[in-house]
């Protein structure tokens, strides 16, 4: 079976298929195990805000790499070189806004979804405008992932997308439907390891084939070594456009409105730990991921250059890349010397990338479906069991919708990168700007939010047919002026949304000053300058920011007289924590490797009958933290 340079024999197809199937089954079993940690709807979607930073951070590795990433960035790496890393390494500019702004706002306000923030910050109408846009954003990603893995499977195994996509969707849908967020986090942790292993294996095989690292660098043209592409030359990939469209709009969208990522942050035990996860993600995970997904493209370029000068590499067949979309598959197959077992392992990484991204998005769409559609509009007062069942149905519906979108993607033309960003850059600008203004400008009004979102979205869509509308802006920022705007469209949409939003806000300030003043009062706790209010509301008292030392390895004593959600410690331990009566603390199983799987947030009090090696709590508190008998417990002060 030949596929643009990948000549798989019947035996090789069977081996690769068996390895992939085995992988999918292992992940499926792994995910299903964690269904037991879902007692209620909060556990299902947010895992009870209990995890240590490293667990969601590590699982974000896999979430950030989709099945499209390997194919898309290898293609980009081959075409333009190491500048393919730019999308993964330009997020730091927006990080202050996230770690000290958006993250504490949503965490302390106990916001469950971005549309819910819009309801509380603005009004119901704003909520439903944002809901439509955010669902479009997430469904776009789900469909795109299914589409890319579908065409890879079709090429490799000859299985039509009509069969491969629904089968994969079924496997993923089942473990997300029953496992919820905890299953997603733990399977993504496993899949992240798998992705990196397979990715490094593929890179090692490529570098080895070239004759070593210095050979690779030596044969890589100068243009392909650079971290940034030309400022304006390529209409579909240029530094100016990438800065405005990707580093600003794209990074803010990924951090601020991607419900899947936000839900990861909301599973973390505290905002401080969330900051650790964010820093780790941007400084470590994303750069490493950029190498994993793009390196095969850079290796391919060096291989081609060396081959052109010296002929086929010794011990390897001549490598031909007729269609750059298949760069990853062609180069891997050649450099592992057509070993079907190793190639199967690498193809499993593609599956891992697909599953880990889609499971997060399915869970996120289901969360939005429940919290923003079902609960407020269909059934306001139902039991947790009912909502849990509805959440599972929402996961099923999301999966089916994502699968159906593959039909639409098959009608699109252009490179994988351009299909991706053409869609995203139309969807995100208005919501990104409205979130930004809403979170960082307390005066921004509800009316302004609704009008600016609608106007911004409409005008951004219009630029698809009338790209000349963007000419002036592109000239102003010295960006490319070529009527093929992809990234500049996002900047244009953001600018229009922002200008309309500011204008309407000032109109309201001048014409209805009382309503304007009321609005500023109403939004306390939901903007960056009123975070003290948010923290006080979250704790139910004044925050205590003094840093103490954790108390570790305590024995649990059950006391039926104690209230649920309260634990008692000795005075010495309270002093060590620098905690006062009724401060919020985090109690967890002392085994670090559980990452907070067995833990909870509670209030602390001091009791004289508790010694320094004990912690006292009610049976209900013990159970809600999933503690086990005879296992030691540690305590950390939150504030």
Partner 1 sequence: MSEKKLNLLVPGLVLFTLVFVFYYPRFLISQFGLENPWTNYLYMYGFGGYFFSLGLLLITKTKSCVFGRGRDTKWFVILCGGFLWLLTMHAVWIYLALSIPFKGGVS
Question: What residues line the site for partner 1 (CB under 8 A)?
Answer: 82, 89-90, 92-97, 99-101, 104, 215, 217-223, 225-233, 239-240, 243, 247-248, 272, 275, 279, 282-283, 305-306, 308-309, 440, 476-478, 528-529, 531-532, 545, 547, 639
Measure CA 572 to chain center.
41
Q: Which is nearer to partner 1, 103 or 340 (CB)?
A: 103
**Shortest reach from residue 73's CB to partner 1, in Å:** 17
Residue 99's SS3 state is helix
CB 81 within 8 A of CB 226: yes
Beta pairing, strands 584-589 & 599-606: antiparallel
Question: Cα–Cα distance between 602 and 590 in angstroms, integer?
Answer: 16
**Shortest reach from residue 441's CB to partner 1, in Å:** 9
**H or E stretch covering 424:** helix 416-427
Q: Which is nearer to partner 1, 92 or 163 (CB)?
A: 92
**Shortest reach from residue 288's CB to partner 1, in Å:** 13
Q: Which is nearer to partner 1, 96 or 630 (CB)?
A: 96
Q: Which is nearer to partner 1, 232 or 401 (CB)?
A: 232
Paired tokens of 402: 């994502």
**Shortest reach from residue 607's CB to partner 1, in Å:** 27
**Shortest reach from residue 598's CB to partner 1, in Å:** 25
Non-local (6+) Cβ contacts of 251 within 8 A are 90, 91, 93, 94
Question: Cα–Cα distance between 391 and 384 in angstroms, integer?
Answer: 10
Paired tokens of 324: 């750059």
**Shortest reach from residue 456's CB to partner 1, in Å:** 19
CA terminus-to-terminus distance, the chain: 62
Sign of CA dihedral 571, 577, 581, 582: negative
Q: Which is nearer to partner 1, 233 or 483 (CB)?
A: 233
**Shortest reach from residue 183's CB to partner 1, in Å:** 31
CB 579 within 8 A of CB 637: yes
H/E/C letters for each residue in 296-356? HHHHHHHHHHHHHHHCCCCCCCCCCCCCHHHHHHHHHHHHCCCCHHHHHHHHHHHHHHHHH
Q: Which is nearer to partner 1, 88 or 128 (CB)?
A: 88
Q: Which is nearer to partner 1, 21 or 89 (CB)?
A: 89
Q: Which is nearer to partner 1, 155 or 479 (CB)?
A: 479
**Shortest reach from residue 559's CB to partner 1, in Å:** 31
Q: What is the DSSP string of 528-568?
A: GGGHHHHHHHHHTS---------EEEEEEEE-TTSPTTEEE
């Amino acid at each position: 079976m030949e596929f643009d340079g990948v000549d798989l024999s019947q035996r090789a197809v069977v081996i690769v298929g068996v390895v992939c199937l085995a992988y999918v089954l292992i992940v499926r079993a792994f995910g299903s195990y964690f269904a037991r940690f879902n007692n209620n709807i909060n556990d299902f979607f947010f895992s009870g805000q209990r995890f240590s930073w490293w667990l969601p951070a590590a699982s974000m590795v896999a979430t950030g790499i989709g099945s499209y990433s390997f194919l898309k960035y290898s293609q980009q790496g081959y075409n333009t070189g190491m500048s393919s890393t730019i999308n993964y390494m330009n997020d730091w500019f927006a990080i202050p806004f996230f770690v000290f702004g958006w993250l504490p706002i949503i965490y302390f306000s106990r916001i469950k979804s971005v549309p819910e923030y819009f309801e509380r910050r603005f009004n119901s109408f704003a909520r439903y405008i944002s809901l439509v846009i955010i669902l479009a954003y997430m469904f776009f990603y789900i469909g795109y992932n299914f589409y890319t893995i579908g065409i890879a499977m079709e090429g490799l195994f000859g299985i039509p997308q009509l069969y491969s996509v629904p089968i994969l969707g079924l496997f993923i849908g089942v473990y997300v439907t029953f496992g919820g967020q905890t299953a997603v986090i733990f399977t993504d942790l496993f899949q992240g390891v798998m992705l990196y292993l397979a990715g490094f294996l593929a890179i090692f095989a490529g570098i080895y084939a070239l004759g070593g690292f210095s050979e690779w660098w030596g044969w890589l043209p100068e243009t392909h070594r650079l971290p940034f592409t030309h400022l304006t030359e390529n209409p579909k990939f240029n530094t100016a456009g990438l800065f405005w469209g990707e580093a600003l709009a794209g990074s803010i969208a990924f951090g601020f409105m991607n419900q899947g990522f936000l839900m990861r942050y909301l599973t973390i035990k505290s905002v401080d730990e969330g900051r650790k996860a964010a820093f780790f993600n941007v400084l470590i995970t994303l750069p490493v991921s950029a190498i994993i997904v793009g390196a095969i493209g850079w290796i391919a370029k060096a291989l081609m250059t060396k081959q052109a000068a010296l002929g086929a590499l010794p011990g390897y067949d001549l490598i031909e890349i007729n269609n750059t979309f298949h760069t990853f598959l062609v180069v891997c197959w050649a450099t592992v010397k057509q070993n079907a077992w190793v190639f199967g392992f690498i193809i499993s990484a593609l599956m891992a990338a697909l599953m880990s991204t889609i499971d997060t998005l399915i869970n996120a769409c289901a969360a939005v479906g429940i919290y923003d559609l079902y609960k407020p509009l269909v059934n306001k007062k139902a039991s947790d069991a009912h909502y849990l069942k509805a959440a599972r149905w929402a996961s099923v519906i999301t999966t089916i919708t994502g699968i159906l979108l593959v039909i639409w993607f098959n009608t699109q033309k252009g490179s994988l990168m351009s299909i991706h960003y053409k869609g995203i850059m139309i969807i995100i600008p208005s919501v990104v700007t409205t979130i930004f203004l809403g979170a960082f400008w307390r005066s921004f009004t509800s009316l302004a939010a609704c009008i600016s979102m609608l106007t911004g979205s409409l005008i951004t869509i219009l630029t698809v047919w009338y790209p000349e509308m963007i000419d002036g802006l592109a000239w102003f920022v010295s960006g490319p002026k070529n009527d093929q705007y992809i990234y500049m469209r996002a900047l244009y949409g953001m600018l229009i949304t922002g200008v309309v939003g500011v204008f309407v806000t000032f109109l309201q300030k001048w014409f209805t000053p009382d309503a304007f003043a009321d609005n500023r009062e109403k939004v306390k706790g939901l903007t960056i300058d009123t975070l003290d209010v948010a923290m006080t509301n979250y704790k139910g008292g004044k925050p205590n920011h003094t840093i103490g030392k954790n108390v570790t390895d305590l024995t649990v004593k059950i006391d039926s007289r104690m209230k649920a959600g309260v634990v008692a410690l000795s005075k010495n331990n309270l002093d060590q924590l620098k905690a006062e009566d009724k401060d919020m603390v985090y109690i967890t199983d002392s085994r670090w490797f559980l990452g907070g799987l067995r833990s909870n947030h509670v209030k602390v009090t001091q009791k004289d009958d508790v010694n320094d090696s004990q912690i006292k709590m009610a049976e209900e508190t013990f159970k809600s933290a999933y503690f086990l008998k005879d296992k030691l417990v540690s305590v950390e002060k939150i504030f």
